[in-house]
Amino acid sequence: MTGSRATLMIARVAGLGALVLGFVLWSGRGGVLVPIHMACGVVLVVALWALAVLAGRAGVSGGAVGMAILWGLAVPILGGLQLNLPPGGGYGLIRVAHLLLGLGAIGLAESLAARIRRVRAAPTR
């Protein structure tokens, strides 16, 4: 198993864990699960950044690498905002944005891994 494949698997598992726990938290149950949800999110973001580094080293476009790094910064920022906002008002919007960014992080991890595979499979000149 290559490093990018293993890192993608970590991102998938962490992303799924964060997603499931996020829905449990969203339902109003499991407030004690917040630290585990946050830990899954951190693992997802670190895996995304690791894939970005691997992609950069493999020759994937700098735009894709930079987007993954910036995206990884945005996910925990919006997650942290939820801790300080009272329910109501913009809280729901932040929750939805955080969910969409989390899903996007999983998608970006998939995309980077696919790009790494394509670059490695391309014939050398």
Alpha helices by DSSP H, the chain: 3-26, 34-58, 62-84, 91-121
Between CA 98 and CA 83 the distance in angstroms is: 12
Q: Is residue 111 part of a domain?
A: yes
Question: Looking at the 3D structure of the chain, how many domains does it have?
Answer: 1
Domain of residue 16 covers: 3-119
Q: Is residue 36 part of a domain?
A: yes
| Predicted structure pTM score | 0.91
Arithmetic mean of pLDDT, 51-58: 96
Task: Output the pLDDT for position 1.
Answer: 64
pLDDT by residue (tens digit) across 23-45? 999 888 888 999 999 999 999 99
Residue 122: is it exposed, middle or buried by C-beta count within 10 angstroms (0-12/13-18/19+)?
Answer: exposed
Residue 104: how many CB atoms within 10 A of its CB? 17
